[in-house]
Structure 1
């Protein structure tokens, strides 16, 4: 056990002793009325992904064997360059605040990275370093959502964060009709805008996650260009305007086919885009650092967003910031870096796709999944499984047998569709083999041995 682990256990034990020895006044405790929390908080729902992740950690801590294929955590180590930069920063002996928007050199590097990969001309003045992608999304929605009349549109399936934050701000979350893979088509976009206008509401933000989470799908250049034209048309129809929250945190895991909306956007559309990128996935593999950034198309909005961030988190961790800077510099220094990241995960994904589809054939469930083009997880379809009513039942059966996955309903779709997101980011291939065995045993119990 590491010194840090021993210290954590010691502190936890000390805390328990302190609580158990503290005097208790049951009369006072029983007479305390329940605190009335705000309706905004009371009506908000916790993210199912986070709840499952917490349960998995608790099970592992209790000594249970669990192959964790749930939360979107990479398994590659952080880049050596980032590790050395953060260690050296700590050795300087100071951990100062930075500007709320981030250290200037980190903002410059983040802007250079976006320009390098997207062919744009942003500067540090367009850039805010945030405490993870969640903070970046929060900053964006805070500018435009304050009542039920304010609508946030998203394709489904989608990361439920967008819906949760919209609800927290008191807005209305609405889905745009899309294929099961999350692709957004122009006619669906126009239909969603028309529906909100008829209802007397106004669209204030369109959330686009690409490569898509949870499907791993990327859109073709033609699809992205058609979508850009459709958004331009809606901008012309909306006097108050709206933002486009472009969530591309899975950049770096795609197979080279990814085309960003930012790359084909007109000038007016570019100024409405808020691009979210992060070092949590393919660009650094350090989700615990909470190192992300916003590139704001209209830099006049940056001071407004900083009002939000200064009241919520202020600056992102300075340690995380220097790690982010080193990671991005490393990615720009050699084009092979991200290709190696993609190839590493592609091997694991390929194994799981082949094995799960073999099980689909074995148990007459059809093709369960395909190889994603921009993720380290797979989106598996168990709709042919009649022995369970929904994805939550299947997820629970698998967890009880020792493999953790995320049910599709965590991405704002119906549990009855029986979709699962399965993270293939495990360094030890034997863990994936164990997961396949557990899937086999679970399906055998549900379908009968074949």
Structure 2
């Protein structure tokens, strides 16, 4: 057999998706892969029923149906406070996963460098390598997971083509402050660097923290490629509806990449989700309140058990410190946790460039009864440690 592509030697299969399979194998509560176990809003489900009968069921415009892009542009204009042309500034993708890959391939050439904050969502490094680029890592330092300005400047001095910014951050739930974002913006302008943002948790930010869209900062729209999806906002992770938002020149390139990667996102789902894009402020306020209560429920439970963690400012993940359990490493601990305790987590080492193996990631995007049962099972850690 001829030699296979060697670019895949740099990474393995998704650890997160692997943990879901292990959770299924042992019948564990899956707090690893970040999807809810509750239904999407009823208005969206009712719309889906109607679309199932009336369609559309054939290809839509490659870069997204007209009505979807128009409604998305209206929604994002309201929250981002910038002008968005649905014909020029948006590409609809198969989830934010494709949005990130499209963005990387649209701006990066083989041999380019891309700054990646560590810890990071695992796809970012894979996207960088698949694009033929080279990751340059900058540490986010606990407990606040802020960055060292001089370290970031040194990374920019390597003349990267882009920086990837996940805000709110997965896996630690960090929400970047305005001062942090303005510093990144100043370096991006100084070194003529693109900023590719992953903002899928844009509407899950806990007060008093505030989500600031990088593209809305002074002078940043033309060098920002904003990626997001509807998965987390409307609890429809399986629908795979994402998008790239940017200036016309960038989006024209993204359209080409997207066209030959996937042709287009699912036409019936683009139509079915329209009621969600028309929701008023009360929906987003209720969303934050719901997740804020789930966060409190889950963290209070972890406190009672005595587990140490970093309190998330946004998103729905919790990074838990397992140092006191004396585990050989986080991978074997997660296997034990899934098999013997009945709760699935993600080994923290899959998110770090640094040699870190004393963290696991849990999430709280579950029904209250699911979280309570998970906490009940985790109480066995208190006894066994």
TM-score, structure 2 normalization: 0.92
Unaligned runs of 5+ residues in structure 1 are 1-33, 197-201, 236-241, 361-366
Which residue does 1:286 correspond to in 2? Answer: 236
CA contact (8 A) 1:369 1:378 kept: yes
For 2:71 and 2:380, locate their aligned partners in 1 and report how far apart those are by CA, in whole Å.
49
TM superposition shift of 1:35: 5.6
SS in 1 for 2:243: strand
CA contact (8 A) 2:80 2:213 kept: no
1:154 aligns with 2:116: yes
CA contact (8 A) 2:108 2:161 kept: yes
TM superposition shift of 1:244: 0.8
Which residue does 1:21 correspond to in 2? Answer: none
What is the RMSD of the two structures over their aligned residues, measured on CA atoms? Answer: 2.1
Distance 1:185 1:220, change over 3 A: same
CA contact (8 A) 1:69 1:423 kept: yes
TM superposition shift of 1:310: 1.2
Which residue does 2:248 correspond to in 1? Answer: 299
Which residue does 1:135 correspond to in 2? Answer: 98
CA contact (8 A) 2:22 2:338 kept: no
SS in 1 for 2:250: helix
Which residue does 1:260 correspond to in 2? Answer: 212
Distance 1:188 1:274, change over 3 A: same
Which residue does 1:347 correspond to in 2? Answer: 293
CA contact (8 A) 1:406 1:420 kept: yes
2:373 aligned to which of 430, 434, 440: 434
2:302 aligned to which of 348, 356, 359: 356
Which residue does 2:311 correspond to in 1? Answer: 371
Distance 1:302 1:344, change over 3 A: same
Deviation larger for 39-48 or 349-358: 39-48
1:53 aligns with 2:20: yes
For 1:100 and 1:304, locate their aligned partners in 2 and report how far apart those are by CA, in whole Å.
13
Q: Which has the higher helix share?
A: 1
SS in 2 for 1:422: strand
2:6 aligned to which of 39, 59, 66: 39
1:335 aligns with 2:284: no
SS in 1 for 2:135: strand
SS in 1 for 2:278: helix
Deviation larger for 82-91 or 132-141: 82-91
Structure ID, larger Rg: 1
1:421 aligns with 2:361: yes
Which residue does 1:399 correspond to in 2? Answer: 338
For 1:116 and 1:76, locate their aligned partners in 2 and report how far apart those are by CA, in whole Å.
27
1:220 aligned to which of 177, 193, 199: 177
SS in 1 for 2:303: helix
Question: Could you say which structure has the greater relative contact order, defined with CA pairs below 8 angstroms and 6 or more residues apart?
Answer: 2
CA contact (8 A) 2:188 2:195 kept: no
CA contact (8 A) 2:137 2:353 kept: no
SS in 2 for 1:397: helix
SS in 1 for 2:22: helix
For 2:372 and 2:62, locate their aligned partners in 1 and report how far apart those are by CA, in whole Å.
45
Which residue does 2:51 correspond to in 1? Answer: 89
CA contact (8 A) 1:350 1:371 kept: no
SS in 2 for 1:271: helix
For 1:253 and 1:262, locate their aligned partners in 2 and report how far apart those are by CA, in whole Å.
16
1:68 aligned to which of 15, 30, 41: 30
TM superposition shift of 1:108: 1.3
TM superposition shift of 1:115: 0.9
Distance 1:226 1:320, change over 3 A: same
CA contact (8 A) 1:119 1:263 kept: no
Distance 1:261 1:231, change over 3 A: farther
CA contact (8 A) 2:215 2:224 kept: no
2:271 aligned to which of 322, 335, 345: 322
TM superposition shift of 1:290: 0.1
CA contact (8 A) 2:165 2:195 kept: yes
TM superposition shift of 1:176: 1.0
CA contact (8 A) 1:210 1:217 kept: yes
Which residue does 1:3 correspond to in 2? Answer: none
Which residue does 1:17 correspond to in 2? Answer: none
For 2:356 and 2:56, locate their aligned partners in 1 and report how far apart those are by CA, in whole Å.
53
Unaligned runs of 5+ residues in structure 2 are none
CA contact (8 A) 1:352 1:436 kept: yes
Deviations 1:375-397 (A, max 9, x none): 22212122343x21221121111
Which residue does 1:110 correspond to in 2? Answer: 72
TM superposition shift of 1:54: 2.5
TM superposition shift of 1:88: 1.5
For 1:97 and 1:389, locate their aligned partners in 2 and report how far apart those are by CA, in whole Å.
51
TM superposition shift of 1:228: 2.2
